[in-house]
Each structure stands twice: as structure tokens, then as C-alpha cells.
Amino acid sequence: MKLSRYVYTEQEFHQIDETPVYHQAVDSAVFKRGEEVATVKYHPCHPNPDFEDYRKGEGTVWTKWLFSEDANKAEGLSECGINMFADFYMEPGSSIGLHQHSDKEEIYYVLEGSVTMLVEDPEHGSSEVTLMPGDAHLVKLGQSHAAVASSEGARIVTVSVTR
């Protein structure tokens, strides 16, 4: 994943209203240049101190926020419920801590490397599977999930949609 020229920590990006997702103006035909999109360093991503294994979240995940309609990062570009569209690079062995999706669904599509995904569903129990390039994963409303990258890392595109 090629980082943009605008790299932020999680705190700089999410807690400061003025930090933009995109650093240029767009018009009705929305085109974005990759070098102008915010890249955020999560260290860790979705930390969860309730666990001692990969579900706690560890290591570094780099995220290019391509489009966002999320909280204070809402760009006002999408009208159809897309909450976020992002390009993730999970460094080797890094993990995304266990977290729940109560108001949005999220789709992961693996481009490079591999990642083990855990899904916990309140009605159907837990499932864990390793995804390879070309594989996809849907997190449904109410489900929790966590992920851990393999020793080569993983590059993933993700889209989330709100109800």
C-alpha cells in the first residue's frame, strides 16, 4: 500500500474535526487522487483490553480513508448509506481487536497476504476462517469480529454501510 502524503495518528484524525479525509476540492463528478487521501496509523486498531490473544488488537494497521460519511469525518458525498470505503494494510502479525457492529455492516475483500477473521454472533456462536487474496467477508449487524494478519501481512479493501 502506498501511503498518501497526509499521514495521521488515530487521535489526530478522529479527534480533530478539521482533519480532512481528502485534501482537495471535489465537484459533482467525484474523483480523488490517492496521494491526497488521509492515511491513518492505528496502533493498535480497535484495542480491546479484555483479551490476551489477538482479539486485544496489536501492532500497526495503516488505513487510507478513501471515502467517509462517518461521524465528524462525514464528507457529504454519498447519498446511499455508504459509511466508509477504505484500503487497509495490516503489518505482519498485527491484529484488529474484537469489536461489535451495531449500526453498520462491513465487507472485507482481501487483495494481498492472508488474514484470519473471527466472527462472534450472539445467536449462532463463533466462526473463524483464514481468508486469502480474492476472498471476502461480511460482518452483519449485531456481530462482533476481530482479525489477525499472517506473517506476510495483509492488504484489504473494506466498505461499511449503515442502515
pLDDT tens-place string over residues 118-155: 999 999 999 999 999 999 999 999 999 999 999 999 99
pLDDT at 1 over 90: no
Evaluate if residue 2 carries a pLDDT over 90. Answer: no
* Average pLDDT for 42-67: 97
- For 59-118, write each residue's pLDDT tens digit: 999 999 999 999 999 999 999 999 999 999 999 999 999 999 999 999 999 999 999 999
pLDDT score of 36: 97
Which pairs count as long-range contacts for 41-45, CB under 8 Å and 24+ apart, including other chains? 41/7, 41/8, 41/9, 41/10, 42/10, 43/9, 43/10, 44/94, 44/95, 44/96, 44/97, 45/94, 45/95, 45/96, 45/97
* Structural domains of the chain sorted by starting position, each given as residue range(s) with its CATH number in brackets: 7-162 (2.60.120.10)
Q: Tell me, what's the pLDDT at 163? A: 80
**pLDDT, mean of residues 13-41:** 95
